[in-house]
Chains A and B, each alone.
Chain A
Amino acid sequence: MEKKRLTINLKVWRQKDADSKGQFVNYTVKDVNPDMSFLEMLDVLNEDLIKKDETPIEFDNDCREGICGMCGAVINGTAHGPESGMTTCEIRMRMFKDNDTIVVEPFRARAFPIIKDLVVDRSALDRIMQKGGYTSVRTGGVPEALSTPVPKQNADMAMDMAACIGCGACVAACPNASAALFVSAKVSHLALMPQGRPEAARRVERMVAQMDEEGFGACSNHGECEAVCPKEISIIGIARMRREFWKSMFK
């Protein structure tokens, strides 16, 4: 049984490089199979552009399974598109209607300069992680795994937070371009595990300081971050981060 093909109108942000001014360019993609992913639809468009000697649209992607965090675009005004709990690469064309117009833009934030078209520089997130997204253990200098039991509930809650893929959608969605959800996910994951406790205070202080230094805004509890997070990480994490932060001040 052949599924009905779609015609899709696209308005895509094109920007040659960091210093150029960007603009929206219109494209029409015909004959779109509804089972296609959104990125496969862009592949088809790019093949077409290449054949016409035009420059294909640059967009980051790798796993195409919602786990590497490399893809990311603002689609119809929402980071990773209107469907919740999903990355850009997980979007399927069956979620759109025939003749829909889809607006595609890069993640925008002061701390994420645009590199080209839909590709942005998210290295600020790595620099935050450098300040404490780990436990300071050496290879080999660790105890037997059974030596510290971890209550199932803690392991489960920690896993909910550790599921963050570092895509930066939370930043793109936040009116203040805050990275609070991203930072709180790592702070909470490690604060919930006994192995992360010894340096919990130092971790939260240093990560928060780096977040501020990178030019991310402050969190004012809008909750937009939680709504777009493809891994549905809860803003309860932000509350936990604040608690950890205050605790660290009174140490």
Chain B
Amino acid sequence: MKLDSKVPSGDLAEKWQNHKDSLKLVSPKNKRKFHIIVVGTGLAGSSAAASLAELGYRVKSFCIQDSPRRAHSIGAQGGINAAKNYQNDNDSVWRLFYDTIKGGDYRSREANVYRLAQVSNNIIDQAVAQGVPFAREYGGYFANRSFGGALVSRTFYARGQTGQQLLLGAYGALMRQVDEGNVELYPRREMVELVVIDGKARGIVVRNLLTGEYEKYWADAVILATGGYGQVYYLSTNAINSNASAVWKAHKKGAFFGNPCYVQIHPTCIPHTGEYQSKLTLMSESLRNDGRVWVPKKKGDKRPPNEIPEEERDYYLERKYPTYGNMVPRDVASRNAKMVCDEGRGVGETGRAVYLDFRDAIKEFGRKTIEERYGNLFEMYKLITGEDAYEVPMRIYPTVHYTMGGLWVDYNLMSNLPGLFVLGEANFSDHGANRLGASALMQGLADGYFIIPYTISEYLAGTKFEKVNEEHEAFKEAVEEADQRYKKLLSIKGNKTVKEFHRELGEIMWEKVGMSRNEQGLKEAIEEIRKLREEYWNNVKVAGEANTLNKNLEFAGRVADFMELGELMAVDALHRRESCGGHFREESQTEEGEALRDDEHFSYVAAWEFKKLGDWELHKEELKFEYVTPTQRSYK
């Protein structure tokens, strides 16, 4: 099967406008006849559901949490990018496009990334009109900051709670549509099957998380905005309920999975300390604006940081990358942290940490300014570690944070399965092999507010729909499948808990499909995951019953899916014998240890088709660069 990206022809800067002009429209009267399911209420899902309902479509919105406002997006701290150039530092749509495509190590589509940069400005306008209290300067206009991988200040923020404020804006828009009767809200529901009829996505089956009942919903189009799959690693910065089940179920029903091995490991997280830990905490990247990263020059130097004199410190990012310094992109910062720790120069009890030091910034700007900029982050750090980062440097270490991979979509954000659209972190689209900071919020809202409302009409207006409803055989089968799965999980009654299995899977993934990967390790990982999966289905112990609120059972279902997706991630990482962005193959590096791409052989999107468990077919979407020339990334 040939993958058609549907990228429009014409000049890069005009593609999106030309494309919009050519898209079919649905008449106002007919819009009321179309039913759209939106799974997920994060930035992508809420903005899409609200915008589609405003247009007149009949929308059903689903989420796992008890309220749409609690989606994982709420936790985003640092900010959102836009090409407004309010700082007069010569930013532009072109520069945002260029930084993003270079930051992604030339593994994304030019046309998509350019469109993202173009609509970035509309997002800020929209959020401001919603009353989002972005940080302002005394004149009443915007304060901006800079993030890794950029030499301009284009990041808008609302204290350390940018995701919260943007999500509450989108949630508000969604609530307004609920009030007007255009959206039906279904919280505490987990999508457990996608229903495909005559080759089109026509509905979903959800499990009501309070009663355990299966509910069936039909629609003319299904939108998945269900977030990323970082939780495969057990420890990540993701929220506890973040999962891959919705996209995985869709994948098993035919949707291709794009670049599953592209995972972002964030450089500034609070290091791992004990087995009991359920998640790791991110310290926003914005801290690198003022904090300086260092380790001792000497191996095994156990002195307290403040006793290590200046000349015995190695500010390794500033030394190796004088232009970007501490503001190199995430993949570069993470890999370098790992390298210095592997050399034996890591700090803290475990030796798996580096310092992020604010001493000089406090000296230069005063403690008050630093407090204003990052007060809540310093408090959070203190709460978790018991240490005061105004006095001693923070200890940080990389952690799984974001997944660039996801379901494959075309320029219209539709998967290869007609009628199935995928938005936000759940799709593979715009970040290539590495995402720049403050770009996920931008992409989620671009997808939901400004892309899907236009592109979905092309599908709805141009498709002949057979009449279906929940009585269709396909719904019954889907319910049956889900029911069997959960019953089976409860019936095994083995002697290892879901958490223990999840933790084991996470260890395999982190060690062998983590920050640096090699052929042997990946082959071992595949074998180990298969074995673990088999053991899971014979020896897992799940508590309680099916027909009630049972979080242990919910997790059991999600971990079962992680066990399958984990294998595909390793398969993809094994096949991609180059390094790019967050995917670092030890066999492919420059003399200085930087990721070395192989454009001749790997300049494509890997889209995997599910055949049967353990068996996938690779489809390639070639990446063509007409406006930028892929080069070895340099942040020196």
Contact = CB atoms under 8 A, between A and B. Distances in A.
Interface of A: 1, 17, 33, 35-37, 39-41, 43-44, 46-47, 49-51, 53-56, 58, 60-70, 86, 90, 92, 94, 115-116, 119, 121-123, 125-126, 129-131, 133-140, 142-146, 148-152, 155-156, 158-159, 162-163, 165-166, 189-190, 193, 195-196
A159 B277 contact: no
Contacts of B366: none
A230 to B, nearest CB: 12
9 contacts: A67-B75, A70-B66, A135-B130, A136-B176, A144-B125, A151-B140, A159-B159, A162-B133, A189-B133
Contact of B128 (A62, A121, A145): A145
Contacts, number: 212
Given A17-B548, A56-B552, A142-B128, A63 B134 contact: no
Interface residues of B, number: 81
Contacts of B168: 133, 162
Contacts of A61: 240
B276 A151 contact: no
Contacts of A125: 67
Interface stretch (B47-55, B145-153, B297-305, B476-484): B47-55
Given A64-B239, A116-B548, A145 B125 contact: yes
A contact patch SS: loop
A100 to B, nearest CB: 18
A63 B542 CA distance: 23
Contact of B383 (A40, A68, A92, A126): A92
Nearest to A48: B497
Contact of A145 (B84, B172, B278, B552): B84
A36 B274 contact: yes
A64 B54 CA distance: 33
Contact of A139 (B51, B139, B279, B499): B51
Interface string B126-160: 10111101111111111000000000000000110
Contacts of B623: none
Interface string B389-433: 000000000000000000000000000000000000000000000
Contacts of B542: 50
A193 B75 CA distance: 23
Residue among A54, A125, A162, A189 with most chain B CB within 10 A: A162
B241 to A, nearest CB: 5
Given A65-B380, A143-B129, A159-B158, A50 B543 contact: yes
A93 B274 CA distance: 14
Nearest to B163: A67
Interface string B162-187: 00110011011101101100000101
A245 to B, nearest CB: 19
A161 to B, nearest CB: 9
A158 B130 CA distance: 13
A36 B459 CA distance: 50
Interface string B54-68: 100000000001111
A35 B74 contact: no
B187 A69 contact: no
A39 B128 CA distance: 36
Which 5 A-B pairs give the minimum distances between C-beta atoms?
A: A149-B140, A134-B172, A142-B129, A139-B51, A130-B179
Interface of B: 47, 50-51, 54, 65-70, 72, 74-75, 84, 86, 122, 124-126, 128-131, 133-142, 158-159, 161, 164-165, 168-169, 171-173, 175-176, 178-179, 185, 187, 210, 239-241, 273-274, 276-279, 281, 349, 380, 383-386, 449-450, 453, 495, 497, 499, 541-544, 548-552
B278 A149 contact: no
Contact of A159 (B133, B141, B173, B187): B133
Given A55-B544, A149-B141, A193-B131, A129 B175 contact: yes
A139 B380 contact: no
Residue among A115, A137, A144 with most chain B CB within 10 A: A137
Contacts of B549: 58, 115-116, 119
Contact of A190 (B131, B135, B449): B131
A146 B497 CA distance: 54
A40 B276 contact: yes
A134 B175 contact: yes
Nearest to A166: B69
B55 to A, nearest CB: 9
B47 to A, nearest CB: 7
Nearest to A33: B274
Contacts of B124: 145
Contacts of A62: 65, 70, 72, 239-241
Nearest to A68: B70
B165 A162 contact: yes
B447 to A, nearest CB: 12
A66 B160 CA distance: 12
Contacts of B187: 123, 126
